Structure 1
Amino acid sequence: MKAFTIAKVQLLILLLISIIARSQDISPVKDSLFSAILKETRPVNVVLPKNYDPAIQYEVIYCLGDIPDFLNVEWSLLQWEGFIPKNTILVGIPDFVRDGVNMRERDLAPTKTSANTGEANRFLLFFRNELMPYINRQYHAKSGGHTLYGGSMGGLFVMYTFLTAPDLFTSYVAIDPSLWWDNFYLHKLAAEKFAHRDTLNNTLFIAGREGAAYQFMGVAGMDSILKAKAPAGLDWKCVQYSNETHYSTNFKGFWEGLKFSYGGFYASTGGYPTSRKIAIKPDNGIVLRNKPFKLICYNLAADAYLHYTTDGTTPGIYSPRITGEETPITIDKDAKIIVTSMGKRKEYNKSASAFFQVGEVFPAAAMPAGSKPGGLRYKYYEGNWDTIPDFRKLKPGETGIATTDFNLNKTSKKNNYALVQEGYIKISEPGYYIFEMGTGNEHTKVYLNNRLILGVHFKADEGESFMVPLEKGFYPFRINYFHKKNGNDLQPVYLKTEGQEDFPLPAAMLFSGK
């Protein structure tokens, strides 16, 4: 059974890769340019995103050693999942062969150890003065924000470029780099450069193989130097991959390296994978003075890139960090919380906000006489209203109890209709409770203790949430659902309690009342 399940997962992955590959035209544009610096015509392969628009400026991922098929697919998936922007292009720089001799070590090695080696400085000039200006003109690239990626000797050149010309690229991705070159020459260069540089504004991702390879490739030594001397402002990471080959490290390394490079531009696990939102909740509520509550954030890597303030000011790099999915916060007065992402590409930084009032625990009551568990009492109305009508002036077309199997959308979506559900909600434990509703409920109103808590700050593409401190007991509860003709399906109201995931309000918590 387990083997069958794994096989199914692998098949689904292959199908997904196939779908993504077909959805994106990943056939490279074959191009070339003559280099006066190198005194040769160099081929370049350019992969453009689907719906490429010359009116838009693009960031470039420069790939040393050309663009293998797996990289095309990973690049497409990274965009599709919202880990990197869609306005990126791939530029592959194939190895150059002259008279049957591969010039890879000539171009990529920083020092000369034999014939046809050690001209990385000239290759870097080719990048800076010829290749990058050409790509900027020909394919409408931005002036900055680009990434340099390479493995093995390509990784060596990535590190050499980072150390000698860090401002040329925003991000550097070196996979199992050949840092052993010339008796670990780049180790000495790194120590020298870091000693004379206080700050950097780059990301650096280095991946190697676990075990002896991590040592003899020179990655372990570079990791130690970075730990001791990395300048402020450099976001860097060294990882070790187990059970991988020198080449297969690229599969993981490109994926993780690009995600790291675009830290602050990442997917949300709150249901908006490609919408570039910071997904926090609750976004409104009442809290007790100096009684901690938890701000929930569904963004990946939130603790690395999200900072917040509680006084309504814009967060800075020294503001407190979001500490994972749940961040404890304490306030002693009404507060506007602002959460901001902070990556190396400031144009992608985003913000979200939440507002909390300091108040008291909502008082509960004993179980009302005549109340029965199993669901709220409902009344159903039809009409041609543009907004929620005054139900006191209308006669319901249907009444009953909204039990577990009650369907909010049993009526045709072509009609305007409203549902009023009311009764009581039973709270079994005191604490903070988050009520929430998602898309489809833009006209819905929710009342607790006769106070409107949802339907005030609704966002059509996000929904709305409200937190309130409750004690053990019963609370009057009412939901006014309103469905407009041809609108989206109505969705149930959800509840989140401390230590539990969100769940639709269960009928067992709801009492019909008289």
Structure 2
Amino acid sequence: MLQKKLCVLVLTFSLLLLLTVQAKSQDQVIKVDSLYSQILQEQRLLHIVFPKNYNPDATDKYEILYCLDDIADFLTLSWGMLQWEGFIPKNMIMVGITNPKPNGENMRDRDFTPTKAWGKTGGAASFLSFVKKELIPYINKKYKGSNDGNVLYGGSLGGLFVMYTFLNDPALFASYIAIDPSFWWDNYLLTKTAAGKLDSNKVLHNTLYIAGREGNAYKEMGIAAMDSVLRRKKPEGLDWTCVAYRNETHYSTNYKGFWDGLKFSYGGFYASTGGYSTSRKIAIKPKNGIVLKDVPFQLTCYNLMADKYLHYTTDGTEPTLSSPTLAGDTTSISLVRDSKVIVKSIGIRSEYNKLDSAFFVIGNTLKSIAEPKNVKQGGLHYAYYQGAWDSFPDLKKNKPVKQGIADKDFDVNKITSDKNFACVLTGYIKIEQTGYYILEMGNGNDHSRVYLNDRQVLGNHFIRDEGEMYLLPLQAGFYPFRIEYFHKKGDAELVPVYLKPEGKEDFAIPVEMLFSNNQ
């Protein structure tokens, strides 16, 4: 029965996710356009996919994703999901370059190949000239495209052209995505010339993502040899990778490669913006607190690929590429003096680089007390006040409307919802083990405060949509504990105070850890 319910739950979630993705893809507007190329002496058909909030009258420029071989349905679906999840910017336009075949001619063979092998192949130079001198200026003028930050994507012979463009004019695009590229062309011509091209391009500022199929195909397509050249040359200013997909076909690699390639192309972007939640940023914790000299504490980060793109310093200077990176979810840091820790997302696209910081002071472990007499486990004592206040009132001048014990059934938001009120919870918190702890308040507690040992630890640095947290070295034992909730009519609901022991997940402080005076 449990397994059946689990299967139903998984299927329901999958269906909701699919419907969400489809809804996002339907937000996109697709336009058919064309331009006549003087260079190619022919009309070229284009498919333009706009983001939902595209505004032709805006002053902002739109980054462009140029797709060779037009735009397949899976591209628009993946593109929309990547935007929704915050892996790529929302203000992007996708341009699909079609490949018409008049009179039976294969335009891909002509346009994407750098040398002539049969028929009308070998037109890559002309096609690159068309892209650079006609297509990009046309898109920039008509659709407010940007000259910077653009992406070129292609598979198979399209991937060959992607690499050809990168080697011959790397500054034309910020990012290049070549999926199962046909590097075998003309006896592996591009691989043979790649080393010299890389040597001649001393200044690079690009990402290059190459994906193929694991096994013999990786070698036969010429990807293994190109990977070897890139490893040997290690081009400065190029963020690149070659990936071999397992159990994929020549065509299915495009599905995975498009998704992975765009995420790679915008490495570091996720840390700077967030997806459907605009509040999601670098998201390090804690942001403030007391630490012990030379006793390491954990700085936690919830961003993807933090160990690649998030660099930090502990001396208050701005991080650079030579600064250490955050080691995945948690990084152990030790300090010898009061310090400002700065974290910076650093990707190829510097316009998306962002900073976050935390400040820590060197101090001592907060002293606990023995278990007080006449205390009762199971929650703090609460006193509830009402009034027409705009800020936390002087409670000495007010009498509580209601008092009691905030036990497991207590909900501060159910006392009232249509009045301004304050609710003060007092008593003790019991810490079972000596170590570092983080106290946290989330969104909704904008005007609230938390005290430990009569010292205010939360409420001075609250940031809306982000909350507040404070790191403390605590002994095992009891601490006087007070929460001062303040709620204004119309604000978000108050939320519990959370505790995070080092090395463990945070949790809402349970009533089992809280004690009140047994009155």
Q: Shift in Å at residue 13 of structure 1?
A: 3.5
| Residue segments in structure 1 that go unaligned for 5+ positions in a row | none
Taking the aligned partners of 1:270 and 1:113, their CA distance within structure 2 comes to 47
Q: Shift in Å at residue 461 of structure 1?
A: 1.4
Cα–Cα, structure 1 residues 442 and 435, in superposed 2: closer, same or farther, change >3 Å? same
- Report if aligned partners of 1:306, 1:321 keep a CA contact under 8 Å in 2: yes
Q: Shift in Å at residue 471 of structure 1?
A: 0.8
Q: Shift in Å at residue 202 of structure 1?
A: 0.6
Taking the aligned partners of 1:274 and 1:400, their CA distance within structure 2 comes to 39
Cα–Cα, structure 1 residues 320 and 275, in superposed 2: closer, same or farther, change >3 Å? same
Letter in 2 for 1:426: K
Instruction: Select between 395-404 and 481-490 the one with higher mean Cα deviation.
Output: 395-404
Cα–Cα, structure 1 residues 273 and 257, in superposed 2: closer, same or farther, change >3 Å? farther
Residues 117-167 of structure 1 deviation map (CA, whole Å, 9 limit, x = unaligned): 111011111111110011000000112110000111111100111111111
Name the SS for the 1:160 alignment partner.
Answer: helix
2:493 corresponds in structure 1 to 489
2:54 corresponds in structure 1 to 52
Name the SS for the 1:128 alignment partner.
Answer: helix
Residues 314-342 of structure 1 deviation map (CA, whole Å, 9 limit, x = unaligned): 11111121111111111111111111111
Q: Shift in Å at residue 417 of structure 1?
A: 1.0
1:477 corresponds in structure 2 to 481
Name the SS for the 2:377 alignment partner.
Answer: coil
Name the SS for the 1:512 alignment partner.
Answer: strand
The match for 2:37 among 35, 38, 46 is: 35
Taking the aligned partners of 2:177 and 2:314, their CA distance within structure 1 comes to 36
Taking the aligned partners of 1:272 and 1:60, their CA distance within structure 2 comes to 21
- Report if aligned partners of 1:373, 1:507 keep a CA contact under 8 Å in 2: yes
The match for 1:291 among 288, 295, 305 is: 295
Residues 443-494 of structure 1 deviation map (CA, whole Å, 9 limit, x = unaligned): 0000011111000000011000000100111111100000101110001000
The match for 1:128 among 120, 132, 144 is: 132
Cα–Cα, structure 1 residues 274 and 76, in superposed 2: closer, same or farther, change >3 Å? farther
Name the SS for the 1:381 alignment partner.
Answer: strand
- Report if aligned partners of 1:269, 1:300 keep a CA contact under 8 Å in 2: no
Cα–Cα, structure 1 residues 11 and 434, in superposed 2: closer, same or farther, change >3 Å? same
- Report if aligned partners of 1:82, 1:276 keep a CA contact under 8 Å in 2: no
1:412 corresponds in structure 2 to 416
- Report if aligned partners of 1:187, 1:222 keep a CA contact under 8 Å in 2: yes
Name the SS for the 2:76 alignment partner.
Answer: helix
The match for 1:459 among 460, 463, 467 is: 463
Residues 73-110 of structure 1 deviation map (CA, whole Å, 9 limit, x = unaligned): 11111111111111100000011322121211110011
Taking the aligned partners of 1:281 and 1:483, their CA distance within structure 2 comes to 25
The match for 1:25 among 14, 28, 31 is: 28
2:354 corresponds in structure 1 to 350
Name the SS for the 1:415 alignment partner.
Answer: coil
Taking the aligned partners of 1:196 and 1:31, their CA distance within structure 2 comes to 37
Letter in 2 for 1:494: Y
Taking the aligned partners of 2:444 and 2:9, their CA distance within structure 1 comes to 35
- Report if aligned partners of 1:270, 1:299 keep a CA contact under 8 Å in 2: no
The match for 2:337 among 311, 333, 342 is: 333
Name the SS for the 2:375 alignment partner.
Answer: coil
Instruction: Select between 196-205 and 180-189 the one with higher mean Cα deviation.
Output: 196-205
Between the two proteins, the alignment pairs up a number of residues equal to 512
- Report if aligned partners of 2:272, 2:345 keep a CA contact under 8 Å in 1: no
2:232 corresponds in structure 1 to 228
Taking the aligned partners of 1:273 and 1:208, their CA distance within structure 2 comes to 33
1:119 corresponds in structure 2 to 123
Cα–Cα, structure 1 residues 276 and 127, in superposed 2: closer, same or farther, change >3 Å? farther
Name the SS for the 1:251 alignment partner.
Answer: helix
The match for 1:88 among 89, 92, 114 is: 92
Name the SS for the 1:16 alignment partner.
Answer: helix
Taking the aligned partners of 1:182 and 1:91, their CA distance within structure 2 comes to 29
2:442 corresponds in structure 1 to 438
2:270 corresponds in structure 1 to 266
2:101 corresponds in structure 1 to 97
- Report if aligned partners of 1:268, 1:279 keep a CA contact under 8 Å in 2: no
Q: Percent identity?
A: 58
1:421 corresponds in structure 2 to 425
Residues 405-431 of structure 1 deviation map (CA, whole Å, 9 limit, x = unaligned): 211210332211111011111111111
- Report if aligned partners of 1:81, 1:274 keep a CA contact under 8 Å in 2: no
2:285 corresponds in structure 1 to 281
Q: Shift in Å at residue 274 of structure 1?
A: 3.8
- Report if aligned partners of 1:265, 1:276 keep a CA contact under 8 Å in 2: no
- Report if aligned partners of 2:441, 2:498 keep a CA contact under 8 Å in 1: yes
Letter in 2 for 1:453: V
- Report if aligned partners of 2:279, 2:466 keep a CA contact under 8 Å in 1: no
TM-score with structure 2 setting the length:
0.96
Q: Shift in Å at residue 393 of structure 1?
A: 2.2
Taking the aligned partners of 1:25 and 1:200, their CA distance within structure 2 comes to 33
Q: Shift in Å at residue 12 of structure 1?
A: 3.2
Name the SS for the 1:399 alignment partner.
Answer: strand
Taking the aligned partners of 2:275 and 2:92, their CA distance within structure 1 comes to 24
Taking the aligned partners of 2:475 and 2:275, their CA distance within structure 1 comes to 31
Computed over aligned residues only, the root mean square deviation of the Cα atoms, in angstroms, reads: 1.7
- Report if aligned partners of 2:84, 2:276 keep a CA contact under 8 Å in 1: no
Instruction: Select between 401-410 and 485-494 the one with higher mean Cα deviation.
Output: 401-410
Q: Is the aligned partner of 1:153 residue 2:154?
A: no
Taking the aligned partners of 1:277 and 1:263, their CA distance within structure 2 comes to 14
Name the SS for the 1:255 alignment partner.
Answer: helix
- Report if aligned partners of 2:109, 2:122 keep a CA contact under 8 Å in 1: yes
Name the SS for the 1:122 alignment partner.
Answer: helix
Residues 366-411 of structure 1 deviation map (CA, whole Å, 9 limit, x = unaligned): 0011111111111111111111112222211111111122112103
